[in-house]
């Protein structure tokens, strides 16, 4: 039974001119999750990421740390939504609301908006991720596992679908997803099953300083 480990990228450069660059902490997180994945003894892991810099760089650091030898595959369907564009489009301006609260509001509004005012709809975003996941087992066969480096919005979309959660569930999952956490799926004859969500024990104890959500 193939396992698919969905990894959220390491911390980006929040509040910097270009968010899509791993921070130094993000690079350390990527190496730490690489060590965790190496410990799990995955079978000839198929490594794939989105095309965003923070996703690709996390995947490469994981491969270097874990000793994965296979080439990295890239698929834009694993890319994150543009959170700044969503906030600008849907979230009311506020001097007191946190960025997280603004994003929660914008994400909920986006899911409820059937139009496409200059960007893809939530439905198209979620269906793209679901299609990428559905195609992955064909590349694995029966004796191979996968590591997919993606982002929090993709993880929330996929997990909420697997658990049949309402829109509020998507927002709740998106809010708590840890940088460089691992979400594990099992692929069986009856379909794909969610085994674990948002594992981050590799950031416990002496590594707790590596724990971030944004």
The SS3 call for residue 148 is strand
pLDDT, residue 13, reads 84
Q: Which residues pair with 186 in a beta bridge?
A: 3, 193
pLDDT, residue 176, reads 96
Which CATH superfamily is 3-210 part of? Phosphoglycerate mutase-like (3.40.50.1240)
- pTM here? 0.94
Tokens of 140: 């694995």
Give the Cα-Cα-Cα angle 60, 170, 156 (nearest 5 degrees): 15
In angstroms and rounded to an integer, the radius of gyration of the C-alpha atoms of the chain is 17
Q: Residue 188: is it exposed, middle or buried by C-beta count within 10 angstroms (0-12/13-18/19+)?
A: exposed
The SS3 call for residue 185 is strand
Between β-strands 72-74 and 46-49, what pairing exists: parallel, antiparallel or unpaired?
parallel
Q: Give yes or no for a contact between 23 and 54, defined as CB atoms under 8 angstroms apart.
A: no
pLDDT, residue 160, reads 96
Q: Domain-by-domain residue ranges, the chain?
A: 3-210
Determine the Cα–Cα distance for residues 171 and 159; give it in Å rounded to an integer: 11
Burial of 77-96, coded b for 16+ CB within 10 Å and e otherwise, reads bbbbbebeebbeebbeeeee
CA neighbor of 6 nearest in space, from 212, 210, 187, 189: 187
Print pLDDT tens along the chain (214 aa): 899 999 999 999 866 667 899 999 999 999 999 999 999 999 999 999 999 999 999 999 999 999 999 999 999 999 999 988 899 888 877 667 788 899 999 999 999 998 876 678 999 999 999 999 999 999 887 789 999 999 999 999 999 999 999 999 999 999 999 999 999 999 988 899 999 999 999 999 999 999 999 8
pLDDT, residue 158, reads 98
Q: Which residues pair with 7 in a beta bridge?
A: 149, 182
What DSSP state is assigned to residue 130?
H
pLDDT, residue 185, reads 98
Q: Give yes or no for a contact between 25 and 10, defined as CB atoms under 8 angstroms apart.
A: yes
What DSSP state is assigned to residue 74?
E
Give the number of other CB atoms < 10 A from CB of residue 39.
10
pLDDT, residue 42, reads 96
What DSSP state is assigned to residue 208?
G
């Amino acid at each position: 039974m193939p396992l698919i480990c969905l990894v959220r990228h390491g911390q980006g450069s929040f509040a910097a001119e270009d968010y899509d660059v791993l921070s130094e902490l993000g690079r350390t997180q990527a190496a730490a999750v690489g060590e965790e994945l190496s410990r799990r003894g995955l079978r000839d892991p198929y490594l794939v990421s989105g095309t965003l810099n923070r996703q690709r760089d996390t995947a490469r650091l994981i491969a270097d740390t874990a000793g994965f030898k296979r080439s990295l595959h890239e698929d834009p369907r694993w890319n994150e939504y543009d959170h700044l564009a969503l906030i600008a489009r849907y979230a009311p301006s506020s001097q007191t609301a946190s960025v997280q609260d603004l994003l929660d509001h914008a994400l909920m509004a986006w899911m409820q908006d059937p139009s496409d005012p200059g960007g893809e709809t939530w439905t198209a975003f979620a269906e793209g991720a679901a299609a990428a996941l559905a195609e992955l087992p064909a590349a694995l066969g029966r004796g191979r596992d996968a590591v997919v480096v993606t982002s929090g919005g993709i993880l929330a979309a996929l997990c909420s679908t697997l658990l049949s959660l309402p829109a509020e569930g998507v927002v709740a999952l998106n809010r708590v997803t840890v940088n460089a956490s691992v979400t594990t799926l099992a692929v069986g004859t009856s379909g794909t099953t969610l085994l674990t969500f948002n594992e981050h024990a590799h950031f416990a104890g002496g590594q707790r300083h590596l724990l971030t959500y944004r």
